[in-house]
Amino acid sequence: MPYNIGKLLVLVCLFSTHVSAQDKALLQYVKPLTGTDRMGHTYPGATVPFGMVQLSPETDTQSYELNGKYNKDIYKYCAGYQYGDQTIVGFTHTHFSGTGHSDLGDILIMPTTGKLQMHPGTADAPETGFRSRFSHSTEVAEPNYYKVQLEDHNIKAEMTTTTRVGFHQYTFPKSDSAHIILDMMYGIYNYADKNVWTFLRVENDSLVTGYRQTNGWGRTRTVYFAIAFSKPFKHYGYQDNSPKEVYRGFWRKFKTDEDFPEIAGKQIRMHFDFSTQQDEQIKIKVALSPVSTANAMANMKAEVPGWDFTTTKRAGQLRWNKELNKIDINADEETMQNFYTAMYHAFINPTVYMDADGSFRGLDQQDYGTSGFTNYTTFSLWDTYRALHPFLNLVQTKRNADMIQSMEAHYDQSVHKMLPVWSNSANENWCMIGYHAVSVLADAVVKDNPYIDGKRALEACVTTARHRSYDGLGYYMDMGYVPEDKNGSSVSKTLEYAYDDWCIAQMAKKLGRKDIYQEFFNRAQNYHHVYDSSIGFMRPRMSDGTFKKQFDILNTDEAGFIEGNAWNYSLYVPHAPEEMIRMMGGNKRFVPHLDSLFNIELPDKYFEATEDITRDGIIGNYVHGNEPSHHVAYLYNWTDHPEKTQERVRMILKRMYHPTPAGLSGNDDCGQMSAWYIFSALGFYPVCPGSVNYSLGSPAIKEATLHFENGKTLHIVARNQSDKHVHVKKVTINGREITNHTITHEDITGGGELVFWMK
Amino acid sequence: MPYNIGKLLVLVCLFSTHVSAQDKALLQYVKPLTGTDRMGHTYPGATVPFGMVQLSPETDTQSYELNGKYNKDIYKYCAGYQYGDQTIVGFTHTHFSGTGHSDLGDILIMPTTGKLQMHPGTADAPETGFRSRFSHSTEVAEPNYYKVQLEDHNIKAEMTTTTRVGFHQYTFPKSDSAHIILDMMYGIYNYADKNVWTFLRVENDSLVTGYRQTNGWGRTRTVYFAIAFSKPFKHYGYQDNSPKEVYRGFWRKFKTDEDFPEIAGKQIRMHFDFSTQQDEQIKIKVALSPVSTANAMANMKAEVPGWDFTTTKRAGQLRWNKELNKIDINADEETMQNFYTAMYHAFINPTVYMDADGSFRGLDQQDYGTSGFTNYTTFSLWDTYRALHPFLNLVQTKRNADMIQSMEAHYDQSVHKMLPVWSNSANENWCMIGYHAVSVLADAVVKDNPYIDGKRALEACVTTARHRSYDGLGYYMDMGYVPEDKNGSSVSKTLEYAYDDWCIAQMAKKLGRKDIYQEFFNRAQNYHHVYDSSIGFMRPRMSDGTFKKQFDILNTDEAGFIEGNAWNYSLYVPHAPEEMIRMMGGNKRFVPHLDSLFNIELPDKYFEATEDITRDGIIGNYVHGNEPSHHVAYLYNWTDHPEKTQERVRMILKRMYHPTPAGLSGNDDCGQMSAWYIFSALGFYPVCPGSVNYSLGSPAIKEATLHFENGKTLHIVARNQSDKHVHVKKVTINGREITNHTITHEDITGGGELVFWMK
Query: What value does the mean pLDDT take over residues A260-280?
Result: 95
Q: How many CB atoms lie within 10 A of CB A522?
A: 12
Q: How many CB atoms lie within 10 A of CB A730?
A: 13
Is there a contact between B415 and A246 if contact means CB atoms under 8 Å apart? no
- Model confidence pLDDT, tens digit, residues B485-537: 999 999 999 999 999 999 999 999 999 999 999 999 999 999 999 999 999 99
Query: What value does the mean pLDDT take over residues B418-441?
Result: 97
Contact A155, A113 (CB under 8 A): yes
- If DSSP codes are grouped into helix, strand and coil, which group holds residue B538? strand
A21-322 placed in CATH 2.40.50.100: no
Is there a contact between A366 and B292 if contact means CB atoms under 8 Å apart? yes
Is there a contact between B264 and A202 if contact means CB atoms under 8 Å apart? no
Residue B119 has pLDDT above 80, yes or no: yes
CA nearest A421 in B: which residue? B250
Q: Which of B102, B194, B225, B253 to mutate to test the interface with A (most CBs of A within 10 A)?
A: B253
Contact A437, A408 (CB under 8 A): no
Query: What value does the mean pLDDT take over residues B379-396?
Result: 98
Is there a contact between A254 and B470 if contact means CB atoms under 8 Å apart? yes
CA nearest B413 in A: which residue? A203
What 8-state DSSP symbol labels residue B245? P
A358-551 placed in CATH 3.40.50.300: no
Contact A303, A165 (CB under 8 A): yes
CA atoms of B259 and B234, how far apart (whole Å): 10
Q: Which of A65, A197, A247, A413 to mutate to test the interface with B (most CBs of B within 10 A)?
A: A247
Rounded (5°) CA angle A176-A182-A186: 140
Q: How many CB atoms lie within 10 A of CB B461?
A: 29
pLDDT band at A565 (very low <50, low <70, confident <90, very high): confident
Contact B667, B40 (CB under 8 A): yes
pLDDT band at A309 (very low <50, low <70, confident <90, very high): very high
Q: Is A17 on the interface with B (CB under 8 A)?
A: no
Contact A391, A345 (CB under 8 A): no
Interface of A with B in 376-395 (CB under 8 A): none
Is there a contact between B219 and A364 if contact means CB atoms under 8 Å apart? no
Residue A201: its chain B contacts at CB < 8 A? 364, 415
Q: Any residues with CB less than 8 A from the CB of B7 and at least 6 apart, and which?
A: none
Query: What value does the mean pLDDT take over residues A725-741?
Result: 98
Residue A174 has pLDDT above 50, yes or no: yes
- CA A334 to mean position of chain CA atoms: 23
CA nearest A262 in B: which residue? B415
Interface of B with A in 565-604 (CB under 8 A): none
Phi, psi of A263 (to 5 degrees): -125, 135
- If DSSP codes are grouped into helix, strand and coil, which group holds residue A160? strand
Q: Per-residue DSSP letters for B417-477?
A: ----SEEETTEE---SSS-THHHHHHHHHHTT-TT--HHHHHHHHHHHHT-TTSTTHHHHH
- Model confidence pLDDT, tens digit, residues B363-382: 999 999 988 999 999 999 99
CA nearest B255 in A: which residue? A469
Q: Any residues with CB less than 8 A from the CB of B277 and at least 6 apart, and which?
A: B172, B174
- CA B231 vs CA A55, B225, B273, B283, B309: distances in Å: 51, 19, 10, 8, 14
Contact B572, B496 (CB under 8 A): yes
Burial B592-611 (b: 16+ CB within 10 A, else e): ebbeebbebebeeebbeebb
CA atoms of A616 and A608, how far apart (whole Å): 13
Query: What value does the mean pLDDT take over residues A160-185?
Result: 98
Residue B4 has pLDDT above 60, yes or no: no
Residue B220: its chain A contacts at CB < 8 A? 197, 199, 264
Residue B613 has pLDDT above 80, yes or no: no
Q: How many CB atoms lie within 10 A of CB B674?
A: 32
CA atoms of B363 and B430, how far apart (whole Å): 13
Residue A737 has pLDDT above 80, yes or no: yes
Is there a contact between B261 and A416 if contact means CB atoms under 8 Å apart? yes
Q: Any residues with CB less than 8 A from the CB of B429 and at least 6 apart, and which?
A: A247, A250, B217, B218, B219, B421, B422, B423
User: How many angstroms separate the CA of residue B116 from the nearest CA in chain A?
Assistant: 24
Q: Any residues with CB less than 8 A from the CB of B10 and at least 6 apart, and which?
A: B25
Of all residues in chain A, what percent carry a pLDDT higher than 70?
94
- CA B553, B559, B565, B570 dihedral sign is negative
Residue A611 has pLDDT above 60, yes or no: no
Residues facing residue A718 across a β-bridge = A756
**Residue B557: per-residue pLDDT:** 65
Q: Any residues with CB less than 8 A from the CB of B603 and at least 6 apart, and which?
A: B554
- CA A457 vs CA A411, B246, B260, B345, B685: distances in Å: 10, 33, 25, 56, 70
CA atoms of A46 and A316, how far apart (whole Å): 9
Query: What value does the mean pLDDT take over residues B41-57?
Result: 98
Q: Is A415 on the interface with B (CB under 8 A)?
A: yes
- Model confidence pLDDT, tens digit, residues B336-360: 999 999 999 999 999 999 999 999 9
Is there a contact between A216 and B246 if contact means CB atoms under 8 Å apart? yes
Residue A190 has pLDDT above 90, yes or no: no
- If DSSP codes are grouped into helix, strand and coil, which group holds residue A92? strand
Phi, psi of A236 (to 5 degrees): -150, 165
Q: Is A257 on the interface with B (CB under 8 A)?
A: no
**Residue B504: per-residue pLDDT:** 98
**Residue A70: per-residue pLDDT:** 81
Interface of B with A in 187-216 (CB under 8 A): 189-190, 193-194, 196-197, 199, 201-203, 211, 213, 215-216
What 8-state DSSP symbol labels residue A736? E
Say whether the peptide bond before residue A350 is cis (omega within 30 degrees of 0): yes
- If DSSP codes are grouped into helix, strand and coil, which group holds residue B103? coil
Residue B633 has pLDDT above 60, yes or no: yes
CA atoms of B537 and B533, how far apart (whole Å): 7
**Residue B248: per-residue pLDDT:** 66
Residues facing residue B168 across a β-bridge = B159, B284
- CA A463 vs CA B107, B553, B675: distances in Å: 33, 76, 60
Of B65, B190, B469, which is closest to A254 when you measure between CB atoms? B469
Q: Tell me the count of A-B CB pairs closer than 8 A.
A: 133
User: Which of left, alpha, beta for B515 (phi over 0: left; psi -120 to 50: alpha)?
Assistant: alpha
**Residue B61: per-residue pLDDT:** 87
Q: Is B101 on the interface with A (CB under 8 A)?
A: yes
The radius of gyration of chain B from alpha carbons, rounded to an integer in Å, stands at 26
CA atoms of B466 and A348, how far apart (whole Å): 51
Q: Per-residue DSSP letters for A541-597?
A: B-TTSPBPSS--TT-SSSTT-SSS-HHHHTT--TT-HHHHHHHTTHHHHHHHHHHHH
Amino acid identity at A732: T
Query: What value does the mean pLDDT take over residues B576-580?
Result: 98
The pairing of beta strand A752-758 with beta strand A713-719? parallel
Of B202, B245, B294, which is closest to A215 when you measure between CB atoms? B245
Residue B658 has pLDDT above 90, yes or no: yes
- CA A271, A272, A276, A278 dihedral sign is negative
The pairing of beta strand B155-161 with beta strand A65-66? unpaired
Q: Do B21-322 and B358-551 show the same overall fold?
A: no
* Of B245, B200, B251, B209, residue with least CA distance to A421: B251
Query: What value does the mean pLDDT take over residues A118-125?
Result: 96
Rounded (5°) CA angle A580-A637-A734: 135
Q: Is A250 on the interface with B (CB under 8 A)?
A: yes
Residue A11 has pLDDT above 50, yes or no: no
Mean pLDDT of the residues in chain A: 93
Is there a contact between B255 and A469 if contact means CB atoms under 8 Å apart? yes
- If DSSP codes are grouped into helix, strand and coil, which group holds residue A130? coil
- Model confidence pLDDT, tens digit, residues A43-96: 999 999 999 999 999 999 888 788 878 888 889 999 999 999 999 999 999 999
**Residue A601: per-residue pLDDT:** 79
**Residue A625: per-residue pLDDT:** 82
Residue A501 has pLDDT above 80, yes or no: yes
Contact A527, A495 (CB under 8 A): yes
User: How many angstroms separate the CA of residue A297 from the nearest CA in chain B?
Assistant: 12
**Residue B370: per-residue pLDDT:** 86
Interface of B with A in 46-75 (CB under 8 A): 64-65
Query: What value does the mean pLDDT take over residues A462-480?
Result: 97
**Residue B639: per-residue pLDDT:** 97
User: How many angstroms separate the CA of residue B250 from the nearest CA in chain A?
Assistant: 5
Is there a contact between A262 and B415 if contact means CB atoms under 8 Å apart? yes
Q: Which of A207, A213, A250 to mutate to test the interface with B (most CBs of B within 10 A)?
A: A250
Contact B404, B440 (CB under 8 A): yes
Interface of A with B in 354-373 (CB under 8 A): 364-367
Q: Where are the alpha helices (DSSP H) in B489-569?
A: 490-510, 514-523, 566-569
Residue B415: its chain A contacts at CB < 8 A? 201-203, 261-262
Query: What value does the mean pLDDT take over residues B111-132?
Result: 97
- CA A623, A629, A633, A635 dihedral sign is negative
Q: Is A246 on the interface with B (CB under 8 A)?
A: yes
* Of A647, A328, A418, residue with least CA distance to B261: A418
* Of B607, B638, B609, B588, residue with least CA distance to B742: B638
Of A64, A293, A433, which is closest to B246 when you measure between CB atoms? A64
**Residue A552: per-residue pLDDT:** 83
Of B193, B264, B433, which is closest to A220 when you measure between CB atoms? B264
Of B65, B190, B197, which is closest to A220 when you measure between CB atoms? B197
Interface of B with A in 723-752 (CB under 8 A): none
**Residue B10: per-residue pLDDT:** 42
> Domain coordinates of chain B in residue numbers?
21-322, 358-551
Residues in chain B: 759
Q: How many CB atoms lie within 10 A of CB A648?
A: 25
In B575-628 the beta strands, taken as DSSP E runs, fall at 618-619, 622-623
Residue A559 has pLDDT above 80, yes or no: no
Interface of B with A in 535-554 (CB under 8 A): none
Contact B350, B381 (CB under 8 A): no
- If DSSP codes are grouped into helix, strand and coil, which group holds residue A259? coil
**Residue A20: per-residue pLDDT:** 54
Mean pLDDT of the residues in chain B: 93
Is there a contact between B254 and A470 if contact means CB atoms under 8 Å apart? yes
**Residue A13: per-residue pLDDT:** 40
Interface of A with B in 459-518 (CB under 8 A): 469-472
User: How many angstroms separate the CA of residue A607 from the nearest CA in chain B?
Assistant: 23
